[in-house]
Amino acid sequence: MMPDIFSSFDPYMYNTLFPTNSMFLMMNTLIILFIQSSFWVMSTRSSTFKTPIKETIFTQLTRTSTTQLKGLSTPLSAIFFILIIVNLMGLIPYTFSTSSHLIFTLTLGLPIWMSLIISSFSHNPKKSTAHFLPDGAPDWLNPFLVLIETTSVLVRPLTLSFRLAANMSAGHIVLSLMGIYCASAWFSSLTTTIFLTISAMGYILFEVAICLIQAYIFCLLLSLYSDDHAH
């Protein structure tokens, strides 16, 4: 039993099933297997599995301005696969959950956001600056609107990273609580133990869906940020 419910987020509290270096090595290997090009005439098992995931992310990218920005679709697709794998690996018992930490999520979201800002101002500085002032606003309201728009653009990487880390952390905390109470009720109440075990199994399935949805939302918001790029 862990000392508290937040011990699952401390890599030094216990020996993880996969050490941090091995975990990233496994993640890199899986990423290579997922995003590599298929040279086979007939579809393999890996291509059959990853084709629906590719179609899902590319369908979303075509709805935004991402396809008009050369080189943006590839990193977004790679980030989508990375988040799916890392989120699902965090559900393995006694495994260090990487995606529940802000340093990991901020590392993925901040470079893409910063590259969009730099690229937009480098391509068309006048239009990029004009984006901070909505059309049709009264003159006396313009300074406040510029301040609000600037703040909303600057906090985008923080809200994006906090959203993913908070959702992953909340799910792992609930799973930890269920495991602690289930272990405590093992020798006291058989009915409570069975109920908590069934609830934990159902919540694990729900958490798997959350892992997939949060990966999609993360890449969805990054693709929507490309609509503000000065074309």
Distance in angstroms (rounded) separating the CA atoms of residues 101 and 128: 32
Token pair, residue 218, equals 């993360």
| Domain ranges, residue 144 | 19-30+47-228
Whether the CB-CB separation of 66 and 76 falls below 8 Å is answered with: yes
Distance in angstroms (rounded) separating the CA atoms of residues 77 and 74: 5
Distance in angstroms (rounded) separating the CA atoms of residues 137 and 68: 29
pLDDT tens by residue, the chain, 231 residues = 445 555 555 555 544 444 444 455 445 545 555 555 545 555 666 666 677 777 788 888 888 877 777 778 888 888 888 888 888 888 887 777 788 888 888 888 888 888 888 888 888 888 877 777 777 767 777 778 888 888 888 888 899 888 988 888 888 888 888 877 777 777 777 787 788 888 888 888 899 999 999 999 998 888 888 887 776
Token pair, residue 133, equals 């002032």
Distance in angstroms (rounded) separating the CA atoms of residues 28 and 215: 17
SS3 content of the chain, % helix, strand, coil (to 5): 75, 0, 25
Token pair, residue 149, equals 């728009």
Distance in angstroms (rounded) separating the CA atoms of residues 184 and 162: 32
Q: What is the DSSP letter of 206?
A: H
Distance in angstroms (rounded) separating the CA atoms of residues 75 and 77: 5
**Has residue 223 been placed in a domain?**
yes
**Has residue 178 been placed in a domain?**
yes
Distance in angstroms (rounded) separating the CA atoms of residues 40 and 173: 43
**Has residue 71 been placed in a domain?**
yes
**Has residue 23 been placed in a domain?**
yes
Helix ranges (H only) for 98-141 are 102-123, 125-130
- For the stretch 159-184, pLDDT in tens is 988 898 888 888 888 888 887 777 77
CA angle 142, 147, 152 (to 5 degrees): 125
- Report the domain count for the chain: 1
**Has residue 41 been placed in a domain?**
no
Cβ neighbourhood burial of 125 (10 Å; 0-12, 13-18, 19+): exposed
**Has residue 150 been placed in a domain?**
yes
Please state the pTM of the whole predicted model.
0.76
**Has residue 42 been placed in a domain?**
no
Question: What are the angstrom distances between the C-alpha of 4 and each of 13, 87, 177?
Answer: 11, 22, 9
**Has residue 10 been placed in a domain?**
no
